[in-house]
Amino acid sequence: MLDKNQKFLPDEKAMAPVPVQEKSGLLAELAAHFELYPENSRRPVNKTLFRNQYFQLTYNVKNQAFNISSRGDLVYSAIPYDTARSYIQRAAVQYLVHPEAVQRYLAMHKGNIQQYLMLSIFQVTGRKVNKESPEVQQAYAAIAENPLFEIQILGRMLQHDETGPLSANLAGKFLFSENVKTGIAGYLSEYLNFIIQLTQTLPIATDGKNIQLLETTQADNLLEDKEMYQQLTFESDITPALNLLPQELKQNIDRLVIRKNQPMLTNNQPLLRSEYGKELAEVRKNYVAHSVNPDNLKQYFENVLPTENENLINVVSDIHISDGKLPFSNPNFNIFAGDILDGQLTNEKIKGIYVIGGHELPAVLPENPDTTAEVWQKWRPFFKYKWFKLLQENPEEAWPLLPVGNHKYYEVVKTELEKSFPNMTILNNSSVVYQGIHYVGLTIPAVLVKRKKELQKFILQTLEKLLQREPDKPTVIVSHAPLFNEVSRLSPSSNAYNKDYICLEPAIVDLFKEYQIIGLIHGHHHIPAAFGREGTREFAGKELFVVCSIYSEMNTGFELQDLLKEKQG
């Protein structure tokens, strides 16, 4: 069992991509590998560094970033819309480098795994069973008997901890008898084969998601706890894990690394699109997910992870509290980037700054439905607005209509939040200095694409006023919705991305050039921590950090302190 204060996975910061200097000897070594692949002569940006039959490692010359991707024929999962691939790949590497930690993590989650097995059996048979039933016990035992399946379960639980309970097609995800039909074990087998080939061939370190040059990893000493936070490299001792893997996979790996053999049978044949493409397309076409909102399932699962953190400057957003309890604790300085509340809450201990998000706007309204009551007195000036009526009835329809700028409604919301969080400074288009950093908080509750000109005029005027007060201070801008695409963590490949949400105001660019703006923090887009909570953006001729720290039970906040130190030199 893990110690309460122990983490299973490395900090996102610890595995963040590291820029590669052009004069680096290692980059010169990688350049030699470019020449091995003729297609690189036609690719100015994304160049192949290494590949096998099913996977490839590419290097983005422009962003100086590595990426592992499938080459197309190999199907990850026959389950439509299965979103756990990145978690399962990370689980695979963690299984290789320290299987004993995997066992502790899974043991800690036994009760939740059994809950998933109960639900899975119900989805298949229609019968309700309990945790002590022979069906659940047999299904649970099957996990430990099949290492490729065990890795999948680990990945599912990592996803559970980060994004909330799963609901769609649980049988294919948690019952071995159903899982063998999905092809995931075959995908995982080929991924393990590739990742070991890769780290034996190139000076690469990876945790299954992020990839770094080995020299940089060692030089910067990025790993805080070498027992728990391990990456896969050519020096990694994978013997304990390898002795657990299926015989056929072991034989492939043994061509690169000499290991002892220990037979184990499992279904690890890859599912190929060239052979099953039509059938897969038909399954996807007729698929009904039967999924349930994770918030509606939380009551059935236990949070077994630590709820406190010691981050010196702790960034969180999008907690969406509805049960009246702050789900984590931090004794230091916190930055709330909006959508903390979906209901009323009071917390007198938490300290820091708080920027208003969209969900705060209806959350602070009186619980008494009688709008003629005295408690509604301060809200009556807003009764005439359509957006206010929608906030009470259907907030999702209110977002595009919300007022821009210093509207009186936001000031009333600020007053209510100050009552609920007396030790937090609510930044409603205002600013504060903490430990030499100037934090500017803008009230941007939602992305307003169609009104971006009006929004950016407000952003410019507010920043001009606030930045002039502290012209020599390093500045971090905090807002719930990002200011515009250029300084957002949202990927262009996301369904939520809108290419029109760009900066159209040249004076904003000039302002960023003039003042010491070093980074931005936003929420809103619910970007899972596994996809990176911090990155860099080039804007106005300078490199800025951008943080989007969605809260999860696995990641109760992002430590901003180290990032600030880097920017301050």
Q: What is the pLDDT of residue 543?
A: 93
Distance from C-alpha of 201 to C-alpha of 52, rounded to nearest angstrom: 12
Domains annotated for the chain, with CATH where assigned, are 19-71 (no CATH), 75-302 (no CATH), 312-568 (3.60.21)
Q: What is the pLDDT of residue 20?
A: 38
Of the chain, the percentage scoring pLDDT greater than 90 comes to 55
157, 2 in Cβ contact below 8 A?
Answer: no
Q: What is the pLDDT of residue 247?
A: 64
Over the stretch 115-151, which tens digit does the pLDDT of each residue have?
999 999 998 999 999 999 999 999 999 999 999 999 9
pLDDT at 80 over 90: no
Q: What is the mean pLDDT of residues 383-402?
A: 95
Of the chain, the percentage scoring pLDDT greater than 70 comes to 84
**Distance set, CA 221 to CA 64, 213, 229, 374, 437 (Å):** 20, 13, 12, 60, 27
Q: What is the pTM of this model?
A: 0.74
Q: What is the mean pLDDT of residues 562-568?
A: 86
Range in 63-72, 206-215, 390-399, 530-539 with the lowest mean pLDDT: 206-215
Over the stretch 8-26, which tens digit does the pLDDT of each residue have?
443 333 333 334 334 345 5
Quickly state the pLDDT bin for 431 (edges 50, 70, 90).
very high
DSSP 103-145: HHHHHHTHHHHHHHHHHHHHHHHS----TTSHHHHHHHHHHHH
Categorise residue 81: left if φ over 0, alpha if ψ from -120 to 50, beta otherwise: left
Quickly state the pLDDT bin for 268 (edges 50, 70, 90).
low
Over the stretch 316-361, which tens digit does the pLDDT of each residue have?
999 999 888 999 999 999 999 999 999 999 999 999 999 999 999 9
97, 83 in Cβ contact below 8 A?
Answer: no
Q: What is the pLDDT of residue 242?
A: 66
Q: Which residue has the higher pLDDT, 186 or 551?
A: 186
Sign of CA dihedral 5, 10, 11, 12: negative
Q: What is the pLDDT of residue 127?
A: 93
CA torsion 46-47-52-56 (nearest 10°) is: -30
Can you list the pairs that 359-365 forms with residues at least 24 positions away whose Cβ atoms lie under 8 Å?
A: 359/320, 359/395, 360/413, 360/417, 360/445, 361/391, 361/395, 361/398, 361/402, 361/409, 361/413, 361/445, 362/391, 362/392, 362/395, 362/398, 364/413, 364/416, 364/417, 364/420, 365/391, 365/392
Q: What is the pLDDT of residue 22?
A: 41
Q: What is the mean pLDDT of residues 542-567?
A: 87
Task: State whether residue 406 is helix, strand or coil.
Answer: coil
Quickly state the pLDDT bin for 215 (edges 50, 70, 90).
low
CA atoms in the 13 A half-sphere facing the CB of 329: 8
Query: Which tokens in the block code for residue 146?
Result: 């099949």
Q: What is the mean pLDDT of residues 533-549?
A: 91
Closest CA to 500 of 486, 515, 489: 486
pLDDT at 201 over 50: yes
Quickly state the pLDDT bin for 218 (edges 50, 70, 90).
very low
Distance from C-alpha of 412 to C-alpha of 408, rounded to nearest angstrom: 7
Q: Which residue has the higher pLDDT, 217 or 466?
A: 466
Q: What is the pLDDT of residue 299?
A: 79
pLDDT at 209 over 70: yes
Query: In this structure, how many other beta carbons lie within 10 angstroms of the beta carbon of residue 473?
Result: 17
Q: What is the pLDDT of residue 24?
A: 47
